Each structure stands twice: as structure tokens, then as C-alpha cells.
Chains A and B, each alone.
Chain A
């Protein structure tokens, strides 16, 4: 592939590879008046594997502040998480991590 005249192509490829670094996304769960605190805490523990203390902290953050970031990661994983939260009936959205 490499020939004497291919310098430019090589550079373009390198530049392209340089931009691939994936942007992280975050999963936000929003407060609502229907989902029970015990239920939300259970979902956070069983689905994300959060500890008892962390699940409780996030659950209370959702309750008091209206929202909480419950997971951060590559876009595909965040999409799966949001769909799973919808499966549990939680209000969840995906957004770019700050």
C-alpha cells in the first residue's frame, strides 16, 4: 500500500484516528411522584450493582434535587441503561457528560 506518493494519505488517516476518542454519555434519572423510594433504590442496586449506601444516596438525590446521574460511559452502554430504566418505569434520559 505504501508508495512514495502516499504521504498525504498517511497524514489524513492519522488525523482521523486522532478524533475517534469516544465522548462519554451519562444516564439521568428524574424524580416523579409515583415511583417508590424502595423501588428506585432496589433498581439502582440490582441493575447498576451500586452499594446500599450509594443507591440510597442517588435515590435521595433524585427525590430532593429532581434528578441524578446514575451512570456514565460510552454511548451504547448509556443507551442500554436508559432503555432498561424505561423498562423499570423510571424516567431516564441520555445526555453528553459534562
Chain B
């Protein structure tokens, strides 16, 4: 049973089961894959859709680390429902990049990517210009966060310094945003339904499983940021902010 993040004298600490750490790490890897695919698409060097849709390849094959990470996930990889789930998570079944233009300023058609790389203005022209200037560095910083989070998830217990905690939190949030997009969470009622689904116990479908992961990562993030809020000094701020 996992124990939540709490502040200690040496940073934030959470005791997670090894399979929980592995699942979170794999989710981070899948979001990295999704962002890297976007990079390939906008740079005009994307994989053909036939390739990305091949049934034989789990998403992490693109990263070239298939065996190392997958070997301990399932006894029978070919028959694992998780493979299907992770392909779905990474948007590999959703016709990624169908509308991508050569200049790369078109917003992503995939809902999870669109949520991670949102429009910066309600004016489409301004949003496109902003995207052209800022999207690639945003993708890079997200990928760096997610990689750092994977590294942190290798330690037991998971221990984060004050500097590492926000990075881990951002990565965890990107995982949650991706899961939420895949689960179709669009309002508070949808989110509540997902939490109820997660509370029902043993996951029978891909969506059940995603719901459980969403609830778990939400709980983990809530405990981390509640702990982090405790330690921000509130010195003269309240006096200075009179507006």
C-alpha cells in the first residue's frame, strides 16, 4: 500500500510499491513518446501513419527501450491488455498528425497533445504565431521534466529535494492531463465519474484501468503539493499585496 508524499527534513518522501513506481514511469515514458512524435511531425520528419499504426509495435519501441522496460511488465507481452492501453494513451490509434501542415503551427489534433500544448490566445492568428515561437521549447521542457520524474521514480522511497519537487509535480500533472484527455474528462462531473469508476475495484477494461491510474496520480499529486504549500514562506507578501 502506497504512503503519500510528506515533507521531511531532507525533502519530500513517498513510499510507493515497485509496481506503482513502474506504472508511473511507463506513463511518463508514453507522454514523452507522444511529445516526441509531435516533434517529428512538425519538423516534417514524421513516421508514416502505417508505421505508427502498426499493431506489432508498442509505443515505447519508438524510444528504442522496448525490452528493458517491457520485460518486467508482463509475462506475455503479446497478450497484455496494458499494451493496448498504452498505445491508446500515446494516441497511436487516433490518427495523429492528420492535419499537420509543413510549417508546424497547426494545433495538435490529438486531444491529449492539444491539452499539453494549448493555444496561447483566443485569436487564432496570434495563437499560431505564439505556437511557432514557443511550442518546441515547451515540448522540450516537458520532455526534460518527464525524464527527471522517471529517474526519481527509480528510487525507493521516492525522495524529492525542494528543487526536484516542482519538476516531478509538473511531470505528474502532464501524465494526469494526458489520462484525463483519454478518459474524456471535460468538466467536474466527468472527473467525479472517473473517480467513482476508479473506486469500484478491480479494473476490467482499459478505461477502468486508466481511471485507477488517474485517481492514483491525482492522489499522489495532491499530497505532494499540499506538503509543498506548507513550506512556502508567507513573509511580507500578505502585507504587500493590497490590490
Stretch at the interface among B59-67, B76-84, B196-204, B217-225: B217-225
- Contact pattern, A 24-51, Cβ under 8 Å of B = 1, otherwise 0: 0000000001111011011001100111
Q: Please indicate the chain B residues that have their CB under 8 angstroms from the CB of A36 in the complex.
A: 218, 221-222, 225
Stretch at the interface among B20-28, B90-98, B152-160, B229-237: B229-237
Q: Is A91 in contact with chain B by the CB < 8 A criterion?
A: yes
- Contact pattern, A 54-82, Cβ under 8 Å of B = 1, otherwise 0: 10000000000000000000000001001
Q: Please indicate the chain B residues that have their CB under 8 angstroms from the CB of A41 in the complex.
A: 229
Are the C-beta atoms of B119 and A93 separated by less than 8 Å?
Answer: yes
Q: Please indicate the chain B residues that have their CB under 8 angstroms from the CB of A50 in the complex.
A: 237, 241
Q: Please indicate the chain B residues that have their CB under 8 angstroms from the CB of A82 in the complex.
A: 120, 130
Known A-B contacts A38-B222, A41-B229, A87-B142; A33 and B177 likewise in contact (beta carbons under 8 Å) = no
Are the C-beta atoms of B240 and A51 separated by less than 8 Å?
Answer: yes
Are the C-beta atoms of B180 and A33 separated by less than 8 Å?
Answer: yes
Q: Is B191 in contact with chain A by the CB < 8 A criterion?
A: yes
Q: Please provide the chain B residues from 158 to 206 with a CB less than 8 Å away from any CB of chain A in the complex.
A: 166, 169-170, 173-174, 176-177, 180, 185-188, 190-191
Known A-B contacts A53-B241, A91-B118; A38 and B226 likewise in contact (beta carbons under 8 Å) = yes
Q: Is B121 in contact with chain A by the CB < 8 A criterion?
A: yes
Are the C-beta atoms of A87 and B229 separated by less than 8 Å?
Answer: no
| Contact among B117, B229, B238 for A86, CB-based, below 8 A | B117
Q: Is B122 in contact with chain A by the CB < 8 A criterion?
A: yes
Interface residues on A, range: 20 to 34
Q: How far is the CA of A46 from the CA of B174 in the complex (A)?
A: 19
Known A-B contacts A46-B166, A51-B240, A88-B170; A93 and B222 likewise in contact (beta carbons under 8 Å) = no
How many B residues face the partner with a CB closer than 8 A? 42
Are the C-beta atoms of B173 and A94 separated by less than 8 Å?
Answer: no
Are the C-beta atoms of A38 and B134 separated by less than 8 Å?
Answer: no
| Contact among A39, A42, A49, A93 for B237, CB-based, below 8 A | A49
Are the C-beta atoms of A42 and B138 separated by less than 8 Å?
Answer: no
Q: Is B54 in contact with chain A by the CB < 8 A criterion?
A: no
Find the B residue at minimum CB distance from A53.
B238
Are the C-beta atoms of B142 and A33 separated by less than 8 Å?
Answer: no
Q: Please indicate the chain B residues that have their CB under 8 angstroms from the CB of A39 in the complex.
A: 169, 173, 221-222, 225
Q: Please indicate the chain A residues that have their CB under 8 angstroms from the CB of B18 in the complex.
A: none
Q: Please indicate the chain A residues that have their CB under 8 angstroms from the CB of B166 in the complex.
A: 46
Q: How far is the CA of A33 from the CA of B177 in the complex (A)?
A: 10
| Contact among B121, B180, B232 for A45, CB-based, below 8 A | B232
Are the C-beta atoms of A33 and B121 separated by less than 8 Å?
Answer: no
Q: Is B215 in contact with chain A by the CB < 8 A criterion?
A: no
Q: Is B228 in contact with chain A by the CB < 8 A criterion?
A: yes
**30 pairs across A/B with beta carbons < 8 Å?**
A34-B176, A36-B218, A38-B222, A38-B225, A38-B229, A39-B169, A39-B222, A41-B229, A42-B225, A42-B228, A49-B237, A50-B237, A51-B238, A53-B238, A53-B241, A54-B241, A79-B130, A79-B134, A82-B120, A82-B130, A83-B138, A86-B120, A89-B116, A89-B170, A89-B174, A92-B118, A93-B120, A94-B120, A94-B126, A94-B130
Instruction: List the 4 closest pairs (A to B, CB-CB), nearest first.
Output: A51-B237, A38-B225, A89-B173, A51-B238
